[in-house]
Structure 1
Amino acid sequence: MSATTQARPQARANPPLPGTLRLGLARTRYEVRGFFRERDAVIFIFAYPVIMLAIFATVFGQDGTTIDFGTDSVPFAQYFLPGMVATGVMLSSFQNLALAIAVERDEGGLKRLRATPLPAASYFLGKVGQVLVSCVLQVAILLVVASSLFDVPMPDDAATWGTFAWIFLLGTATGAVCGVGFSSIPRSGRSASAVVTPIVLVLQFISGVFFQFDQLPTWMQQVASVFPLKWMAQGMRSVFLPDEAAALEPSGSWQHGAIALVLLVWLVAGLVVGVRWFRWRRRDDG
């Protein structure tokens, strides 16, 4: 008597997860949707540089007052625009991520996320992608307001816009990476704002955002030169101001090489700090 063999059902292998980059893009879409749901934060981040530009252009630019350098001059709105672009990038990247990630950690979101198959790299790509989207929109709004309401001339050649592009992208990446690294310093989500906001305010005051950088005390200029915001503002001045305005810089030139070097150094430092000390749990959670 021949035994009949019954086919055994074969266990189906779990389908492989999408790649890190694909998951990072999906996470970017998720982060962007979450960012725009926080309407109060969105309004502040987008409106802050526009409001500050309007205030400084109105207060300092009364009666057609201009900033002179050599044989040329520019209105105050044009001089302050680069600083507002730089500080807008800093708000959307460094400050936004340092606060948001600290709150996510405090609420247990990072701990739960770490238990999923999502690679850590995809999570961070999503954060950087969200920052890039918000920075592009913020800067676009600021440039439209500056050109339409304050008659600030925009660059008219591709080379200058190319300079703007690499400074913007490198500054955004540096701010985002440093924000991720710095997010582990606050002890809780509630204390994050008290830790991060004063640092951002101090850097704005000493980096040539609210005042002419050449008129600040020498020691203050030297301190500001350690941090990336000063260099982002200087790089943006090279884009939106005439070449003759370089005479107002401490070195007498735009120093594009130094700008790239300092931003890259901070980018690498932020990566090292983030990889070494980033925390997925609260301090009291092991």
Structure 2
Amino acid sequence: MSTTGKTALPRAWSLGLSRGALEIKQFVRQRDAVIFTFAFPIVFLALFASIFGEEFEGTGATASQIYAAGMVAAGIMSTSFQSLGISIAVERDEKVLRRLRGTPMPPSAYFLGKVWMVLATGLAETAVMLLVGSTLFGLDLPTSVSKWLTFAWIFVLGLAGCALLGIAISSLPKSGKSASSVVVLPFLILQFISGVFIPVNQIPDWLLNIGALFPLKWMCQGLRGVFLPESAAVIEQAGGWEYGKTALVLGAWVVGGLVLCLLTFRRWYVRPGGPGWWRPARRRARPPARRTPCP
């Protein structure tokens, strides 16, 4: 109880935790979404590992191991970028954000709840992918603490950057029905030019340079460095894992993604005709109508 006799409102952090628990419950209750979200990277891993199962010459790693590392990175981006980009656009179209404006919950708590949901689903899907990859496709789990620490910071930075990018891109679809098309297409293209579906040594350099502008390529490269032997670094464009550049690019996407989120949502929610949850749109006062005197 405050000195003025009014009950203090919960802070945004505690509200974000509560909102995150609600988001996780809603996700778990959608069984079809849970099944397809977790099954998508596993099915593609099984297909590519079965088709291209031979060992890459001079690398000491099989194609299934290389694909398994890439699919772990794709799973992280799927549960963050794709999930948030579609779900927020659908909720905006269904006027969920407008209804939340009538509650004391600040916008930061809403987005914190989304981040907690992404963190929980990302951890779960990564654990499933590592289990499937190590038991069925020969993926060697790290045995040193340094490798696991490398995996941890790649996971955190990659998840955060992709989540912020997903929040930003959710403002592009005009409606919830078009959200899947707008979000899935760039994600699918990035998987082809970032070393998920096609080994990086078989991708033209100009496409790899385009993929290097986005976080997925660096997540794939960093995770290959964690799970593959050192001899497999010859397949990379630079001939090495480049952990320093990976941390720099992923960190830049976290900062840039946050700025992009603030800019896109401010522009969307402030403009006239927008949903008006972040800030109400300012309406211009109409000039008084001119009255013609009666003859």
**Pairwise same-fold verdict (TM > 0.5):** yes
Query: Shift of residue 284 of structure 1?
Result: 5.6
> Counterpart amino acid of 1:174?
G
Alignment of 1:134-213 (within 5 A): 134-213=121-200
* Equivalent in the alignment of 2:262: 275
TM superposition shift of 1:283 = 5.0
**Aligned to 2:38, which of 40, 46, 58?**
46
Q: Provide TM-score, normalisation by structure 2.
A: 0.88
| Aligned length, in residue pairs | 271
Rounded to whole Å, the distance in 1 between the matches of 2:30 and 2:232 is 39
**Per-residue deviation, 1:145:** 1.0
Shift of 1:158: 0.8
Unpaired runs of at least 5, structure 1 = 1-11
Deviations 1:39-74 (A, max 9, x none): 22211111111111111111111xxx20123xx421
Contact 1:53 1:84 in 2 (8 A): yes
SS at match of 1:66: coil
Confirm whether residue 32 of structure 1 aligns to residue 21 of structure 2: no
Residue aligning to 2:231 = 244
Match for residue 235 of structure 1? Answer: 222
CA distance in 2, matches of 1:152, 1:226: 27
**Aligned mate of 2:52, from 55, 60, 63:** 60
Greater length-normalized contact order (CA 8 Å, ≥ 6 residues apart): 1
- In the alignment, the residues of structure 1 paired with residue 132 and residue 211 of structure 2 have an alpha-carbon distance, to the nearest angstrom, of 28
Identity %: 47
- Partner amino acid, structure 2, of 1:150: F
| One-letter code aligned to 2:107 | A
Q: What CA distance in whole angstroms lies between the structure 1 residues aligned with 2:92 and 2:185? A: 21
For each residue in 1:110-144, what CA deviation from the matched residue of structure 2 results, as whole angstroms up to 9, or x when unmatched?
A: 11112211121111111011000000000101111
Task: Give the match for residue 99 of structure 2.
Answer: 112
d(CA) in 1 for partners of 2:145, 2:203: 33
Cα distance between partner residues in 2 of 1:273 and 1:38: 30
Mean Cα deviation higher: 270-279 or 132-141: 270-279
Query: Residue 115 of structure 2: which of 128, 131, 135 is its match?
Result: 128
- Which of these residues, 7, 13, 21, is aligned with residue 15 of structure 1? 7
Post-superposition offset of 1:151? 2.8
User: What is the distance in 2 between the residues matched to 1:137 and 1:106?
Assistant: 29
| Separation (CA, whole Å) in 2 of partners of 1:74 and 1:248 | 11
Counterpart of 1:97 in structure 2 is 84
Q: 217, 230, 251: which is aligned to 1:264?
A: 251
Q: How many Å separate the matches in 1 of 2:68 and 2:222?
A: 12
TM-score normalised by the chain length of structure 1: 0.90
* Equivalent residues of 2:165, 2:257 under 8 A apart: yes
Alpha-carbon distance in 2 for matches of 1:284, 1:118: 19
Q: CA RMSD in A?
A: 1.7
2 CA distance for matches of 1:284 and 1:116?
19
